Structures are given as structure tokens and as C-alpha cells.
Amino acid sequence: MKLTAILGQVVKADGMSGAMLNEMVFVGKKRITGELIRLDCDMATILCYEDVSFLKVGDPVERSAKFMCAELGPGLIGSIFDGLQRPLKKFGTFMDTQGDCPSLDMDVKWKVYNSKSGKVAKGETIAEVKESKAIVHKVLAPCDGEAKIKNGEYSVNEVIGCVVCDGSKVDVKLLTTWSVKIPRAYREKHVPSTMLVSGQRVLDTLFPIAKGGAGAIPGGFGTGKTVTTQSIAKFCDADIIVMTLVGERGNECADVLKSFAELVDPKSGNSIMEKSVIIANTSNMPVSARIASMYLGVTIGEYYRDMGYNVLMIADSTSRWAEALREVSGCLEEMPGEEGFPVYLASYVAAFYGRAGYVDTLGCGSGSLTILGAVSPPGGDFSEPMVQATKSVVRSLWSLNPELAYSRHYPAVDWFQSYSNYDLDGCDKVMDDMRETVKKLLEREEEILSAVRLVGYESLSSEEKFVLYFADLFKKDFMQQSAMHKVDRYTSFMKQRNMLEAFLTYFESGLISIRNGDDLKDVVDKSISEKLSKMKFSEQEEFGDVAAEIEKSLLHEKEFVDYEELSERLEEEDK
Ligand SMILES: Nc1ncnc2c1ncn2[C@@H]1O[C@H](COP(=O)(O)OP(=O)(O)O)[C@@H](O)[C@H]1O
Ligand SMILES: [Mg+2]
């Protein structure tokens, strides 16, 4: 088994008969990791995931007889890995991998408790380990049978007990492995319908995603993909975050690590790292390793899903992954598809997002894996193949608009180009009605604006002028959200609801009083807009019942604001 050709990250070796497709191999004297991606008689084509610059024809190639696997067990949470799951320890402008070391610390002793004896089913919890302040790691039965697990202190590689099945004994360790390209098993997948509260107002109000859903956030350079996905990672209500940074610059990754380490989860008071796993493949690492990091991220996500957690996996940016696929496909001299991407790009993308889901786990519980991918098409061109492939599989799409970004309207989520097709239950009816009202309001604004272009602002009715005024206020003080402000960067669901109620009460009361003959300039009340503007920067307890105050100041006789009726009326006016 020797190297016969080196074509970049792709190399060829002979004497490989009996090897398996996707088998992991070690190439050259430094034993760099590679994967068998094509076999032709005894000739193998291998994709190397590490630096190939020192390889020579004739160098040895060693088989491993196993697939590329993730090492799974306690110690993942709080770790930072590269695409090959080697811990990255050195923070700085560039981060160096630590040579050939195990993924999980083999020396740490974990306290195993709640261990089970007796009959168990495959996937059932047979012991627990407190992995971090926020996460209890569940050890799952490897098969049906009779469990004999003992409490105690164990390192990940020690046997903690066994499960006896049909007379044969399966040893149980904290450490297990799983082939990254194969989705982990579950009992049943359901249509996701519980909302993942992101804490970002424009997303939760207009385009909410479900736990177990798949979403994408396409946008050109500098439109805010990284800031938005990071904000979601930091503040959303998922139990576990798997952050996969693909092909970003080293210092950008270092920034992420620093901000994750410093940030405290607003709900639990713990550091965010107590519930996060970070996988970083910076732009200075071999391009092919980006492919590995995507699969590693999603596998770790599924692993915690199987313990019954709601996991969010974020990939920033999936376009760097697509570029890696293109590069490898080029080395293999495959027939290129659109824009040089491999013809199977769409099926790879579909398979990747397909691993998201809300499932009944094998162990009879339920868990979810939500996948959110940033897409960065060159030149911000959304007709590009990766955006198109992604759009056809995700059900939530948050398109970032460069014009909004340039005018510093952040998050620059385009309200006409974005959508979410999840049917969420458990949300309250009032919130649903308010959502509809906001969508109608934005459409109505657009229509009035096109009328203004034709006939000028002065010929608008007072009511139309008020709609424009309000829409502007709403965009500035509700939809815009600063990721840098210590209160504004995260808005709880209740606060969002309160804010919406206050804003829409102003809208409805304003429309009513204009209809009752009040002057526009009295309705466009500075003190009200000031009150509304302050809401996003204050804690919920500080602002009281703004909606009631507004109603009182605008309406002489108190009229009840019905958001459903308001939304219907806007629709009628559209016609
Ligand atoms: N929600 C936000 N609040 C404040 N600033 C933002 C926000 N979103 C984006 N920005 C600004 O836009 C810049 C570029 O965002 P970034 O996420 O790095 O873009 P991308 O990843 O799309 O290239 C950030 O450095 C920041 O100044
Ligand atoms: Mg970015």
C-alpha cells in the first residue's frame, strides 16, 4: 500500500484491495488522516484531511478498517475541536491543532450515578454523568438486555458495566464512537411544531423556526450572518449548541471563542460554554477538513438529541463547505455541474439538513436537532447553486438584504424575501394575530410607498400618512436589534409579546383616533414614540403596561384593540 499519485488534497494509492469505501486511512510517514473516496480494483483514491505538502510518491498508506468516526462521551461540552475532532487549545490569531491526540480527555474521572440494573431497552438511559453545570450526560444502553452498571468514578475508556443480551455480554464505557456520515437511529420523526425562541425579535415575530427544523440564513459578505447566528447561539432556548465554524478566518474564530467564554446565559446564569461544543475549521486549515467538520457537528448534535435534549447546530458558513466539495470534485475530475459545483451538491445539502428533526428517541423520550446554516454566495447572488440547493430543503429562510445592512438596519432580514413554513402550536392566539398584523402592515407600507412615488406624499390621506409613520417607527424600534447592546441583544418571548402589544396598540389607537377626526399631528405623539423607543433598551419589569398607557392617552373612550380584526381590516384595505 503505497502512494502512487498526489493531486493536491486527493492522493492515489495501490495495493488497497479489500478496503471499504469511506474507510479511514493514514497517509505518509506522519500518518495524516484520509478517507477512501473511490476504489478501482486495488487502486484507491483518498481525500486527505490534513496538510499534504510533505507527502511523496512511494510513502506508505495504512488502513484502519473503520469509517471516519466521532468520539462521543462526556467532555464534549465545553470543548473546541477541529474538523477531525482534535482539541484546539491555543487561542490567538491562528489556532494550532495539537498533533495526534485523543478527542476526549482520557484521564479525567467522571462520577457515574443513577446507574441501572435489570431489564433495559436499546437507547434507554442506564447511567448519568454530570458533564457540565448545565448538562447531565446520559449513558444509553447499546442494546436490549439485562444491564449491570455500577456507580463510581470512571475515565471515558473504563468499563462501567455491561448489558447482557442473549447470553453475550456487551461492555459499556462512557466513550462510544459513531461513523459521522451515517445518521444516528431514532424511533420516529415528527413534524416539528414547537417554537425555538431565538431572542431575535424580527425572527421570532415574523419568521419563527421550530425545534427540530431546518433553516438557512443567506447573505452577502458583511450583511450580518455571523453576528446573527452567534446571537441566536448565545440566547436561544436550545439546551445545547453545536457551533460549527467552517472556513472562517482564524481571528474571527478566536473572537467567537472569546465571546462564548465570557458570556453568561441569561436564564441559567452559567457560562454559555457549559452547554456548547465548538468545531472550528479556520481558512488556514486544509479545505477538505471543512467537509469533515460539517459531519462531525451534525453527529455530535444527534448524539445529544438522543439523550432527549433540544440541540441547535449552526454551520457558518455552509458555502465554504460547498467550495470544498467543488475543489475535491475537481481533483477527482468529475463532470462538473452548475458553476463547477459537483452535480451531487443538492443531494448532499438535502442529506445534511435532513438530519435535523424532532424525534422519538430509541429510549422512548423525545429530542430535537435544529440545523441552521449560514450561506454566503459570492457577490451576494442568491441565484447561485448553493443558495438554491439550500432553499429547496429548508423551511425557514432568513434572507439578509445588503441595502438594509448598509443603512445599518440590523438584523438585515428582508421581510419580503424571508419566510418560515413551520406550523407552530402552543403559541398563543394573540401572538399569532399580532404576527399577521405586522406582515400586513409591512405590505401596506410598501403599497403606499409605491403610491407616493407616483402621486407624491402630500396627496396621501392622514391614515396613509400614519401607516407610513408607524411602519417607520416599528422598523426602527422593534425590528432593528443591536447585537452589541447589553439589554437589546436578547428579547425574551414575553418581552417580545409585550412590546408587540404596545406597538400595535399604538397603531390601532392611532387609526381609530384619525377616523374619529383627530388631527394627524396629535396622533403622531412624541411622548408615545419615545416610550416605545425605550422599550427594547429596558428590562421588561421597568416599562410597565405601555399598551394601556398609550390607549388611555389616545382614545377618549377606551376601545378594546382586537389584533385579528385589525389584521383583517388591513387586508381589506389592500384590496
Ligand atoms: N444585529 C447586529 N447588531 C449590530 N451590528 C450588527 C448586527 N448584525 C451585523 N452587524 C454589523 O455588521 C458587521 C458584519 O457582520 P457579520 O456578521 O460579520 O457579517 P457576515 O458574517 O455576513 O459577513 C458586524 O461587524 C457588525 O458591525
Ligand atoms: Mg461571517
Q: Residue of the nearest CA to atom 9 in ligand 1? A: 224
Same domain, 375 and 410: yes
Ligand 2 midpoint to CA 434 (Å)? 32
Specify the ligand 1 atom closest to the Cα of 223: 22
Same domain, 341 and 199: yes
**Domain end residue (candidates: 67, 95, 119):** 67
Mean of the pLDDT values across residues 533-548?
A: 86
Ligand 1 midpoint to CA 151 (Å)? 48
On whether residue 86 sits in a domain, the answer given is no
Ligand 2 midpoint to CA 239 (Å)? 24
Ligand 1 midpoint to CA 248 (Å)? 14
Which grid cell is 411? Answer: 438584523
63 within 8 A of 350, measured Cβ to Cβ: no
How far apart (Å, rounded) are the C-alpha atoms in residues 566 and 447?
17
On whether residue 96 sits in a domain, the answer given is no
**Domain end residue (candidates: 398, 420, 442):** 420
How far apart (Å, rounded) are the C-alpha atoms in residues 147 and 63?
35
Mean of the pLDDT values across residues 158-174?
A: 93
Q: Which of 380, 446, 448, 379 is nearest to 416 (CA)?
A: 446
Same domain, 145 and 14: no
Specify the ligand 1 atom closest to the Cα of 482: 3
**Residue bearing the bigger pLDDT, 418 or 282:** 418
Same domain, 128 and 60: no
Whole-number pLDDT of residue 522: 83
Asked if pLDDT for residue 101 goes beyond 70, the answer is: no
Q: Which ligand ends up closest to the CA of 401?
A: 1
Kindly report the CATH number assigned to the domain that includes residue 24: 2.40.30.20
Mean of the pLDDT values across residues 266-278?
A: 87
Q: Return the C-alpha torsion angle 504, 507, 510, 516, nearest 10.
A: -90
Same domain, 438 and 475: yes
How far apart (Å, rounded) are the C-alpha atoms in residues 192 and 190?
6
On whether residue 481 sits in a domain, the answer given is yes
Whole-number pLDDT of residue 430: 83
- Using pLDDT thresholds of 50, 70 and 90, give the confidence band for residue 282: confident
Q: Is the peptide bond before 317 cis (omega within 30 degrees of 0)?
A: yes
Whole-number pLDDT of residue 269: 83
Same domain, 148 and 210: no
Same domain, 400 and 341: yes
Kindly report the CATH number assigned to the domain that includes residue 132: 2.40.50.100
Asked if pLDDT for residue 90 goes beyond 60, the answer is: no
On whether residue 100 sits in a domain, the answer given is no
196-249 pLDDT, tens digit each: 999 999 999 999 999 999 999 999 999 999 999 999 999 999 999 999 998 877
Encode burial over 156-184: b for 16+ CB neighbours within 10 A, e otherwise. Answer: bebebbbbebeeeeeebbbbbebbbbebb
Mean of the pLDDT values across residues 471-487?
A: 94
Of 228, 248, 409, 410, the residue with max ligand 1 atoms within 8 A of its CB, to mutate for a pocket test, comes to 410
Q: Residue of the nearest CA to atom 7 in ligand 1? A: 410
Q: Which ligand ends up closest to the CA of 407?
A: 1
Pairing mode of beta strands 276-281, 419-420: unpaired
Whole-number pLDDT of residue 204: 94
Q: Which ligand ends up closest to the CA of 199?
A: 1
The mean pLDDT value of the chain amounts to 89
Asked if pLDDT for residue 568 goes beyond 90, the answer is: no
**Residue bearing the bigger pLDDT, 270 or 487:** 487
**Domain end residue (candidates: 390, 420, 450):** 420
Ligand 2 midpoint to CA 245 (Å)? 9
Mean of the pLDDT values across residues 285-305?
A: 91
Specify the ligand 1 atom closest to the Cα of 376: 22
Q: Residue of the nearest CA to atom 12 in ligand 1? A: 224
- Using pLDDT thresholds of 50, 70 and 90, give the confidence band for residue 528: confident
Kindly report the CATH number assigned to the domain that includes residue 279: 3.40.50.300
Percent of the chain residues topping a pLDDT of 90? 63
How far apart (Å, rounded) are the C-alpha atoms in residues 196 and 210?
5
Whole-number pLDDT of residue 507: 93
Of 227, 403, 410, the residue with max ligand 1 atoms within 8 A of its CB, to mutate for a pocket test, comes to 227
Ligand 1 midpoint to CA 95 (Å)? 23
Residues framing ligand 1 (Cβ under 6 A): 219, 221-228, 410-411, 481-484
55-84 pLDDT, tens digit each: 999 999 999 888 889 999 999 999 988 888
The CA-atom distances, in angstroms, between 270 and each of 238, 303, 311 are 14, 22, 17
Ligand 2 midpoint to CA 374 (Å)? 8
Whole-number pLDDT of residue 91: 39
Same domain, 363 and 509: no
- Using pLDDT thresholds of 50, 70 and 90, give the confidence band for residue 166: confident
Same domain, 410 and 462: no
Same domain, 286 and 372: yes
Q: Residue of the nearest CA to atom 23 in ligand 1? A: 222
On whether residue 56 sits in a domain, the answer given is yes
Asked if pLDDT for residue 185 goes beyond 90, the answer is: yes
Whole-number pLDDT of residue 560: 58
Indicate the angle between helix axes 526-535 and 546-554, nearest 10 degrees: 170
On whether residue 21 sits in a domain, the answer given is yes
On whether residue 493 sits in a domain, the answer given is yes
Ligand 2 midpoint to CA 222 (Å)? 7
Sheet holding 110-113, edge to edge: 136-140, 125-130, 110-113, 152-154
Mean of the pLDDT values across residues 325-343?
A: 90
Whole-number pLDDT of residue 99: 47
How far apart (Å, rounded) are the C-alpha atoms in residues 354 and 207?
20
On whether residue 84 sits in a domain, the answer given is no
Whole-number pLDDT of residue 98: 42
Q: Residue of the nearest CA to atom 15 in ligand 1? A: 224
Lowest mean pLDDT among 101-110, 179-188, 282-291: 282-291
Element (H, E) at 81: strand 80-81
Same domain, 443 and 567: yes
Same domain, 411 and 454: no
Specify the ligand 1 atom closest to the Cα of 412: 8
Asked if pLDDT for residue 94 goes beyond 80, the answer is: no
Sign of torsion, CA 438 443 449 451?
negative
383-439 pLDDT, tens digit each: 999 999 999 999 999 999 999 999 999 999 999 999 999 988 766 788 888 989 999
Ligand 2 midpoint to CA 316 (Å)? 7
Whole-number pLDDT of residue 527: 85
Q: Residue of the nearest CA to atom 10 in ligand 1? A: 224
Q: Which ligand ends up closest to the CA of 198?
A: 1
Range of the domain at 250: 188-420
User: Domains in the chain: how many in total?
Assistant: 4
